[in-house]
Structures are given as structure tokens and as C-alpha cells.
Amino acid sequence: MRALVVEELAPDYAGVRIRDVATPQPGPGEVRVKVLAAAVNFPDLMQTRGEHQHKPSLPFIGGMEMAGVVDAVGDGVTAFQAGDEVCSGGRGVFAEYAVFPTASLQKKPKGLTFAQAAGYPVAYLTAYVGLVRAGQLQPGEWALIHGAAGGVGLAAVDLAKVLGAKVIAASASDVKLQTVEAEYAVDATVNVAASFRERVKEITGGRGADVIYDPVGGDVFDESTRCIAFGGRILSIGFTSGRLPTLPVNIALIKGFSVHGVRAGEYGRQFPEKGRENNAAIWKLAEEGRVKPRVHAEYPLSEWREAYETLARRTVVGKTIIRPDL
């Protein structure tokens, strides 16, 4: 089968190549899936340079979430059969086939396309753990969502609206904000290319945002500490700006806010029962049609570099999808 393999860690994806590799075989309790759609996430880009906290041993196949059709099942598998439409968060999915333990698979919601389902698990689970578990976002509270046009940020916008919050979508692009505003009916937008703290205070009646969802870091985090409400919660999701911010704790002391690090997968590993509840909750929302995952564009595997660049150049609104079947 064809797969996108990271053979060495290097800038500009110099160590990434499409290779013919052995098609994996499912073992006991496993299923093999023909991958029809695989979502590109910012950590996928970082891993090609060795800059992400998860560092797979070289060589490795990229990708961490997909949707497809069950192709073969291993011994003892009864929950799935060939032809089932499934999706999963996992590893090594930028390939024509991938193998998963049955516990990691989810039946694809009928209301989602394969591309939508592929981009769903990571973004919406991160949003759920951040906004519900860490942020304890309540109906009527103000939620400031940074990186609101990216996959993770847009999922947070969508979920925050479902939770009944008042949402401020933040981005450095007016064009992206127009799309988010039109499709997700947010309560306000903020362009963070310039100073934004006074605008956030104006929108919230001087109080500041109750919850700030931050996958950007850097200067955005620094200024967020200036427009967080007393008793508010800043959720640190990632650092797509490239700079790890630092927090003078006297600011947190004076303003009475907290900072929560959010790692959805690790949360589930540390608290397995809550992790199962989290997964059940996001898939229930999808089954009920209450969320709207957005696909920005789809690319064949041969155009993987162009797919990566939609994230690197910050042109994406929603999720970029790679189609290994094309």
C-alpha cells in the first residue's frame, strides 16, 4: 500500500516521502480499515521536525485521525464486520490502510461525510475536555476562542454555542472571521492582528471573558491575561504561534484567574471513566446533528504537501483532509 512516511526529522518536510509499504494485517481484537479520509492537524507538521511532545520512532507514518470502511477483522472481533463505516483517532493514518484495536473505533455518524468524520474526533474531544472539563463553561458566560478558524478552534466555537455560551471568535484574518460569523452565528469577532484586550472588554461590558480557549500561545496568551474576567479560566491548548508564553503569577493573583493545560488524550488516560464519558458525549452530539464540523479542502495523498501548507500558511478554515484512496 501507499503511505506517507516520515523517514527523518528535517525542516520543510524534507524527510517526508510517499512509500510503498507492507499492508498491515489485523491481529486478534483488531480491524483493518480502508482509509477514505484522514485529517491533517498541526501536530502532524510539528512531528516531521521533531517539535511535538509525541516523538514516534523513525520511520513512522503520519496522521492521527481518519474515517473509512472496515476491510478485514482479526480473530475474536464481533463488534465490527467488513463494510462497516467507521472513524477513529489513532496513529499512522496517512495511508491506504490502517489497523486499529476495536476499542478505538467508532461507527461513523450517518449525518457526517467521511471527510467530516475524519476531522471530528481530535478537535471536538479537545474542545470538550477544554470547555467542559477544564473550563466548566456555563450557559451565558463569555467564551473567547482564539484560532477560531482552525480545526481545533472552530470545534470550540461550535461546541461553545451548543453549550449556550456567548462566543467571541478571534483570528488574525477578517476574511476567516467573516466565514466563521456567517456559518456559526457567533456573538462577536475580534481581529488579534492588533491589540484586542480593549475590544474584548467592550464586548463583555467591561468584565472580560470568563473562559479563554488558546491554541495559539505567544503574544495572544500574554494579552489574554489582560482581558480575562476575575475568576476566569484560560485554557492552554497549544502554541501554534511558535512561542511558549510565560505567566507572571502576580497577574493571576491580582485577577483571580486560573490557567489549565488541556491534553484531551492524556486526560482520558489519567481518568479512564471520564475519558469514556467524554467520547460518548461528543459522538452523541454528532449523532444528534447538533454540531457542524467544517471541511476546508480535500487533497489526494500525492498532494500531501499542499494539504500541509494550508495549515502552515494559516489559510485553512476548519479541517484539511487527505484522501489516501485517490
- What is the pLDDT, as a whole number, of residue 259? 97
Q: What is the pLDDT of residues 74-112, one digit of tens each?
A: 999 999 999 999 999 888 999 999 999 999 899 999 999
Regarding beta strands 142-145 and 65-73, do their DSSP bridges make them parallel or antiparallel, or are they unpaired? unpaired
N-to-C CA span, the chain: 12
- What is the pLDDT, as a whole number, of residue 215? 94
CA 278 to chain centre: 15
Q: What is the pTM of this model?
A: 0.90
Rounded Cα distance, 294 and 319, in Å: 6
Q: What is the pLDDT of residues 39-84, one digit of tens each?
A: 999 889 999 999 887 889 999 999 999 999 999 999 999 999 999 9
Rounded Cα distance, 224 and 208, in Å: 9
| Contacts (Cβ under 8 Å, ≥6 apart) of 65 | 38, 39, 41, 87, 88, 89, 90, 93, 118, 119, 120, 121, 122
Regarding beta strands 228-236 and 209-214, do their DSSP bridges make them parallel or antiparallel, or are they unpaired? parallel
- Residue in 52, 110, 60 with CA at minimum distance from that of residue 84: 110
Q: What is the pLDDT of residues 139-196, one digit of tens each?
A: 999 999 999 999 999 999 999 999 999 999 999 999 999 999 999 999 999 999 999 9
- What is the pLDDT, as a whole number, of residue 240? 83
Domain edges within the chain: 2-120+293-323, 123-266
Rg (CA), the chain: 20
- What is the pLDDT, as a whole number, of residue 53? 79
User: CATH number of 123-266: 3.40.50.720, 3.40.50.11540, 3.40.50.300, 1.10.275.10?
Assistant: 3.40.50.720
CATH 3.90.180.10 fits domain 2-120+293-323 = yes
